[in-house]
Amino acid sequence: MTKSDTRLADIFQKAVKIVNWPGPVYVPRAYENGYFESIEALRETYEAHGQGLPQWVFPCNEVGLKLHAEHILENALSDWEDDSQGDFDVSGLQKILDDWCAMQKPRAWVEDTKRVVLIAP
């Protein structure tokens, strides 16, 4: 057993087990990047490659874009005098950025290694 396998076995032992998961999943060392839109998409990919399904996968949480007004202003005003940076409405800009980010469709999937989804054969 490799170090990676031992690490995954340890994660599995400590994780909360889930039987049904409707969302995206992650399989370590799987096809392409390991992320699948659903358990069904995972099944289709593995069947298409003639491979048996893994016994478990990580569920994924969807993460949207987050922009930080303070960091953006710091970068934009890096050549300005330090005392002028306090004259900007950072919280107002943050509200605009949060609203804009919420409207964006692209999302990232991030695996949750504290839970595992058990795959029925």
SS3 29: coil
pLDDT tens for 43-70 read 999 999 998 999 999 999 988 899 999 9
User: Which whole number is the average pLDDT over 58-86?
Assistant: 85
Q: How confident is the model at residue 30 (pLDDT cuts 50, 70, 90)?
A: confident
Domains in the chain: boundaries: 3-62+110-118, 69-103
Integer angstrom CA distances of residue 47 from 42, 43, 55, 60: 9, 6, 14, 22
Q: Would you say residue 4 has pLDDT above 70?
A: yes
The answer to whether the CB of 109 falls within 8 A of the CB of 57 is no
Q: Is the pTM of this model over 0.75?
A: no
How many other CB atoms sit within 10 Å of the CB of residue 30? Answer: 17
User: What distance in Å separates the CA atoms of residue 102 and residue 65, rounded to the nearest whole number?
Assistant: 8
**Phi-psi group of 27: left, alpha or beta (phi > 0 → left; psi -120 to 50 → alpha; rest → beta):** beta
Nearest one of 2, 35, 7, 37 to 22, comparing CA atoms: 37
| Contact residues for 27 (Cβ-Cβ < 8 A; gap 6+) | 34, 36, 42, 54, 57, 58
